[in-house]
Amino acid sequence: MPHLFRSSILCLVCIGSIALTSPSQSAKKSEPHEESIILFGGTGTELLMRCNAVGTLRAGDTATTMQVADTVKDSNLCWGYIAGIVDEYQGIALSDLLKEPPSFCLPAKVSMEKLEKVVKKSLDDNPARLHMPASLLVVKAMSEAFPCQ
């Protein structure tokens, strides 16, 4: 059973890392900062839309097959995207590729559910940031919730 759980999480990470947005929106130019960049993960607005689906269906709810599929897809994309960004950031930090100290340090037994709630709260509490890249906002949320000591 633990192997099945790990496989499911790995699948979520892959799905979230590959496509947070639909194919027609997968490569979007952000607002110009100094130069334009391509966002494959979308903006905070798109991530918040996905994360708002988490926990919306409960046992006994009446829903169409398409509603269930959309909710599951959006929930998985939310969790997978957050897990992918957090894992990648921590991997870079462990490899000494960061030129500065890590922005966040996760507690030893933090759950994926907790990480999703931290990101969602940060997005909800900071609507002025929602135009920014989702990846940056995930790191910002982790930094605010789990600063290194």
Distance CA 87, CA 80 (A): 10
Look at residue 35 in the predicted model and tell me its pLDDT.
65
Look at residue 34 in the predicted model and tell me its pLDDT.
54
If one compares 77 and 5, the residue with the highest pLDDT of the two is: 77
Number of H helices, E strands in the chain: 5, 2
Indicate the burial class of 117 (C-beta count within 10 angstroms; 0-12, 13-18, 19 or more): middle
Give the pLDDT confidence of 84-141 residue by residue, as tens digits: 999 999 999 888 888 888 899 999 999 999 999 999 999 999 999 999 999 999 999 9
Look at residue 101 in the predicted model and tell me its pLDDT.
87
Six-digit token pair at 64?
């169409």
Look at residue 45 in the predicted model and tell me its pLDDT.
96
Look at residue 3 in the predicted model and tell me its pLDDT.
40
Give the pLDDT confidence of 21-56 residue by residue, as tens digits: 344 444 444 454 456 777 788 999 999 999 999 888
Look at residue 63 in the predicted model and tell me its pLDDT.
87
pTM given for the model: 0.73
Task: Find, among 44, 50, 12, 16, the residue nearest to 28 by Cα.
Answer: 44
Q: For residue 43, what is the DSSP state? A: B
Give the pLDDT confidence of 51-82 residue by residue, as tens digits: 999 888 888 889 889 999 999 999 999 999 99
Six-digit token pair at 124?
């909800």
Look at residue 16 in the predicted model and tell me its pLDDT.
44
Look at residue 40 in the predicted model and tell me its pLDDT.
82
Amino acid identity of residue 47, one-letter, is L
